[in-house]
A = this chain, B = another copy of it.
């Protein structure tokens, strides 16, 4: 175990804090409010177009911090390895984590590794927890979403889920669909720095856009109306969904979010988002309305109205 840490992890996460080989790490923080989050990653397969479990483990947790309106600073990494995992595979994943952490501007400051017997895992599971700094006066919560809010979507949906699914099933589409997995803190912090009154943010992971809208509408005790025509979906993703019988609204993304803010600030927000490559296709897709039943309604491309509900099971398990 100690060999593994010294040979695989320490050289990659070349970090004076990690080199202490201690049980934890002490870091300086500016005073104030910190955001804390955690996620375990069990994606299958480990590698997919546009990323791997390591990229996900960094970006997923960075994005959860961003969704609290916080600047991500530090990550922890806990590995559960199945006996028989190839060292080369582990090294590749750890390298991905290093690159993703650099890109997101966070440091992986402490970690842990456990090994379980063959047949008691699935190669590798990774947990990351994140610590970030929440700015003064930032108050982002599903309960703050309210009737009159605009709903802004940061980009096209469905790519991550389809990328993982096609890697899992060995499907080949004419154009390879690449996961949208990416860090979102920069564009989110730009919205906050611009002084916009963001009520709520949510990244569109498990359950996709649909689950995010339903959950937030319930917490907010308000309804939501979105327009299908405003929701960007790549042609290739739409085609793949049609073939596989999926609905892009329910597919997990790893680099997409929705923002709720007063309608009069919506165009300013979209303008800001368009400055960042990862959010260049941001669009106003709908608004929150008075509705005690918290219904989420979509005006379809044909002009009819469809109620968006939570799926009872997971459309795509082990997608993150």
Residue positions of A touching B, CB distance < 8 A: 1-2, 20-42, 63-65, 67-68, 70, 74, 76-80, 109-117, 119-122, 125, 127, 129-131, 134, 141-143, 202-203, 206, 215, 219, 310, 314, 317-318
Contacts and interface: CB of A to CB of B under 8 A. Distances in A.
B206 A24 contact: no
Contacts of A130: 24
A236 to B, nearest CB: 28
B121 A79 contact: no
Q: Which of A29, A36, A64, A78 has the most CB of B within 10 A?
A: A36
Contacts of A68: 22-26
Nearest to A43: B114
A115 B125 CA distance: 12
24 contacts: A1-B206, A20-B143, A21-B215, A22-B68, A24-B65, A25-B35, A27-B33, A29-B29, A29-B34, A34-B131, A36-B76, A36-B129, A37-B76, A37-B110, A38-B76, A38-B77, A38-B110, A38-B111, A42-B114, A78-B78, A114-B318, A119-B119, A120-B122, A127-B127
Nearest to A130: B24
A6 to B, nearest CB: 11
A31 B65 CA distance: 19
A-B complex: 3 closest residue pairs judged by Cβ atoms: A31-B31, A24-B37, A129-B129
